[in-house]
Structure 1
Amino acid sequence: MKELNRLAIKRLTQLLYLSILLSPFLPPVALLMTALATLFTVREKWMFNRWPEKIFLSFIILSLVSWLVDPSWIYGIPIGVIPMAMFALYYLLSIWIRHKVKWSWQEVQTMYLQFWLGGLFVALIVFIQQLDWPVLNHSPLGPILHFYNEFRWQSEWSVRSVGTTGNSNLTAALLICFALMSIYASSVLQKAWQKVAAFCVFILYCVAIWCTGSRGAWVGLVIGLIVQLWMTGHRKRTVTITLAIILLAYCFPEIIPRQDTLGSTIRVRLEVWTVALQIFREHWLLGVLPLHFGQIFAKKAGFYIYHAHNIFLGIASEYGIIGLALFLALIYMTIRRARRWRKAANRKEEKRLAGMLISQTIALLGHGMYDYPIIAPQVGLMFMLSVIMIHAQYERRCTSKPEWSEQQKEGQKGSKPVILHKNSISAILFNVKNYIHQRVELYRKRA
């Protein structure tokens, strides 16, 4: 029975990742199923002062207070209920990962490698949409393509592929994460052909990003690659590659895809950002909450838009200065704990796993300087899963006693002790030498 329970826990968690690949409608359903399973099965004491749970709880309280101060409705539903429900689901997801899933880093690695391969489905849909071959409409893929074309959230009908999210920028955000997983896979897979295949899949995901026509995605991808390389410990190499990329983009700006000019897009973004900044100034403390932002924006600008097209400006205008401070605190602690987890790990694969997860988080923030991808169900769930996994693995590795340290101590106990007189000079020199040797070995393992 216990084995069956573990299998059910694994399958439900895998469903979360599968829902990200397939449709924007599935992540809320998968999160709700996980939340119900958490409420009915978790018997351990729930902690309310841990990271990231306390941030999610703070956003629930903030959303409630903000709505009470400035009530608003959409289709007869109080707008405050929507962000409260969203952060409650994320809170219960964190409890689920911490108390029920309890994966080791090897299990997390296996899950993300499977997820990485599953991302090929997203790339396939992107390529088929770009191909636009009528014959495919009469093939078994026809109903699938019709579904994704029917539910498009694109502001304009263009040649840009929208993938499985219904929006080209959101699909590009997913592809950024899969591309970063490709780099991780190439570093941890053992066989030469596997490494080559992982690099080829990386190129495939880059081509798929090009098909979405998202320029902000390239910024996010480059930032994520830099962070992932930095987390490997190659600092000089990271700086050199970063400067080379900046120089290349400056000398050859035409390498950035899209037919329309960068300046024309920036002008539209600046108009949106200006109005969003005005909304923030008028509601600087508690914000206006998601969806209500669009209602206020339409009154000021004369046209409706869902969000501020900038992740930090969006959070500031929707949740005020308090919400922005909470979000920045979450990002800071996540980066800090990812670095500490990496240093405490004793295997290269685990160190690279920490680097890959934090690179996804920062890459989505980089992409978010030009958009607001984490507000969408699929990208938001992927972002929060990375954050929650980092905190869970940090606590497993750094705040509790790791299993590998126990094995090391057992090995030391089995060795034959050297007996020396306490007052002898030889004993003192031996103790000093032994202490230095232990410190050097500890430093090498943490590096």
Structure 2
Amino acid sequence: MSILVFLTVISPYTTILPMIYMLYMVLFKKVSIHKNHWNIGLCLLFIWSLIVGVINYSFSSIVVSFALFMYLCVSIFLQNYCKNESIVEKIYMHLVSFSLISVIFGIIEKVIYVYFNINIWSRFLQITSQPVVNDRIYSTFGNPNVAGNWFAIMIIVGLHFCSIKSKTTKLFYRVATLLFVIALYLTGSRGAFIGLLCGLFIFYLLKGSKKDMWLFITIFIITAAVTFMPSEISKNVTAHGFDDSFISRLGIWKGCLKMIRIKPFTGWGLMGITEHGADFMKGYFYATLYHGHNIWITIMTTLGGVGLLIYAYLKINLFRNLKILYAQKCRIVPMLAGIQAIIIGHGLVDFTMIAPQTGLLFIASSAIISSLVKQNNSSSLYDDSNDSNHEKSSKIS
């Protein structure tokens, strides 16, 4: 599993290898397929995306739909692999360790730009037609907002381990968490800052512990200050103006809403914004615009009202499962809920789930929630059965 995690962190292009491996294991090996809300919803989303692609005569949308099938296979694999909390925590420990490579790379990237005025990704980004933002780090993620989303999630994961580890190990996670804060700051992603504020709030609401409160307060104050500081100052601090970014998103949202009004039921297909967005977003459309910079708007534009209902079904049942795990006193619930909160908060201004790395991270955390509910329910049923058998044997004796 450590190799799969490493390949996921190190590049958006190597992320396909763990996905192919898990796809192979599910299709050609004996892997149990659990009938639960997450798997059913993801399967429905895949089928509906195929139907929408056919309705819109969009070959590219049909092809991209199979990414959802791969995510379904990833979910099935992880639900079989993550049998208890300790296994899940080992996976996230690997994530923290390998993500430090990304942090170091991002800091080096920033230093090279500051002292030598060289963007080490510029030539590659020009080849892929992506916009080049010199003052923000891309690290190993290919996009500053995706990098920001990843580092925000790693901050929540780091805080989780800070609260449960012994003194020696705790120092490592404290340092790692602070490095993730620095890396997040260097991405200049205000959407990720907003997501982190949501994640921190949910994490400590559920955690209910005073341990490492100083670390939480420090991160929260810094994040809040950067998120809500005036645009004139933020351009000098984060090298990213919020006003310019918001205005461009406003134009994209208005364009998407025009598209939704035309096809409210089916949507335009998963590649609909790329194929048709230029006609509705004049002045705000660029070559690499694949999404509507908002989770709900993007889903409504691409998969219509039906797709949005399926996504709502997935999210509602995820929250129900988190509630069940919290009642069962599962200790990683605050971390998993915090990750979901980051995705929702950042999703107000971005759709980072479209990127392979953050998409896989979201799918994995959601599948793990479903898996833990099943395992905990099975354990409780086993315990109840043992108790009843014990009572029967006592009566007989």
Query: Shorter-chain TM-score: which interval?
Result: 0.7 to 0.9
Q: Give per-residue Cα distances to partners, 1:293-333, cap 9 Å, x unaligned.
A: 11211122344322111111111111111111111221121
Partner of 1:26: helix, strand, or coil?
A: coil
1:291 Cα deviation (Å)? 2.2
Which of 108, 117, 134 is the equivalent residue of 1:158?
A: 134
* Contact kept? 1:20, 1:379, Cα under 8 Å: no
Does residue 160 of structure 2 align to residue 184 of structure 1? yes
- Amino-acid identity (%): 21
Task: Give, in whole Å, the separation in 2 of the partners of 1:380 and 1:250.
Answer: 24
1:172 Cα deviation (Å)? 0.7
Equivalence map 1:186-201=2 (5 Å): 186-191=162-167, 193-201=168-176
Equivalence map 1:60-99=2 (5 Å): 60-73=46-59, 78-83=60-65, 85-99=66-80
Provide the residue aligned with 1:433 in structure 2.
Answer: none
Q: Which runs of 5+ in 2 are unaligned?
A: none
Does residue 266 of structure 2 align to residue 290 of structure 1? no
TM-score (norm 2): 0.85
1:157 Cα deviation (Å)? 3.5
Extract structure 1 runs of 4+ deviating beyond 4 A: 133-136, 145-149, 151-154, 244-257, 405-410
Task: Give, in whole Å, the separation in 2 of the partners of 1:17 and 1:402.
Answer: 33
1:116 Cα deviation (Å)? 1.1
Q: Give per-residue Cα distances to partners, 1:243-285, cap 9 Å, x unaligned.
A: x969968985578543454222211111111001111111111
Provide the residue aligned with 1:204 in structure 2.
Answer: 179
Does residue 92 of structure 2 align to residue 112 of structure 1? yes
Task: Give, in whole Å, the separation in 2 of the partners of 1:214 and 1:56.
Answer: 29
Partner of 1:401: helix, strand, or coil?
A: helix
Equivalence map 1:254-403=2 (5 Å): 257-302=237-282, 303-304=285-286, 305-345=289-329, 350-351=330-331, 353-401=332-380
Task: Give, in whole Å, the separation in 2 of the partners of 1:371 and 1:250.
Answer: 15
Which of 147, 151, 166 is the equivalent residue of 1:171?
A: 147
Task: Give, in whole Å, the separation in 1 of the partners of 2:337 and 2:163.
Answer: 16
Equivalence map 1:421-432=2 (5 Å): none
Over 3 Å counting, the alpha-carbon distance change for 1:37 and 1:281 in structure 2 is same
Task: Give, in whole Å, the separation in 1 of the partners of 2:114 and 2:182.
Answer: 22
1:72 Cα deviation (Å)? 1.8
* Contact kept? 2:113, 2:134, Cα under 8 Å: no
Q: Which has the higher contact order (CA 8 A, sep 6+)?
A: 2
Which of the pair has more CA radius of gyration? Answer: 1
Provide the residue aligned with 2:83 in structure 1.
Answer: 103
Amino acid at match of 2:62: G
Does residue 20 of structure 2 align to residue 32 of structure 1? yes
Amino acid at match of 1:381: L
Over 3 Å counting, the alpha-carbon distance change for 1:251 and 1:27 in structure 2 is closer
Task: Give, in whole Å, the separation in 2 of the partners of 1:115 and 1:17.
Answer: 6
1:183 Cα deviation (Å)? 0.6
Amino acid at match of 1:384: I
Amino acid at match of 2:175: C
* Contact kept? 2:11, 2:140, Cα under 8 Å: yes
Over 3 Å counting, the alpha-carbon distance change for 1:229 and 1:300 in structure 2 is same
* Contact kept? 1:374, 1:380, Cα under 8 Å: yes
Partner of 1:132: helix, strand, or coil?
A: helix
Task: Give, in whole Å, the separation in 2 of the partners of 1:249 and 1:262.
Answer: 11
Does residue 196 of structure 2 align to residue 221 of structure 1? yes
> RMSD of aligned C-alpha atoms?
3.3
Q: Which runs of 5+ in 1 are unaligned?
A: 1-10, 137-144, 418-447
* Contact kept? 2:36, 2:370, Cα under 8 Å: no
Task: Give, in whole Å, the separation in 2 of the partners of 1:281 and 1:57.
Answer: 26
Task: Give, in whole Å, the separation in 2 of the partners of 1:56 and 1:320.
Answer: 16
Task: Give, in whole Å, the separation in 2 of the partners of 1:105 and 1:208.
Answer: 28
* Contact kept? 2:76, 2:367, Cα under 8 Å: no
1:117 Cα deviation (Å)? 1.6
Q: What is the number of residues matched between the two proteins? A: 376
Does residue 40 of structure 2 align to residue 54 of structure 1? yes
Partner of 1:80: helix, strand, or coil?
A: helix
Over 3 Å counting, the alpha-carbon distance change for 1:399 and 1:330 in structure 2 is farther
* Contact kept? 2:58, 2:269, Cα under 8 Å: no
* Contact kept? 1:316, 1:324, Cα under 8 Å: yes
Over 3 Å counting, the alpha-carbon distance change for 1:148 and 1:166 in structure 2 is farther
Q: Give per-residue Cα distances to partners, 1:132-167, cap 9 Å, x unaligned.
A: 17999xxxxxxxx96797257642342211111111
* Contact kept? 1:357, 1:390, Cα under 8 Å: yes
Range that drifts further, 283-292 or 311-320: 283-292
Provide the residue aligned with 1:445 in structure 2.
Answer: none
1:220 Cα deviation (Å)? 0.5
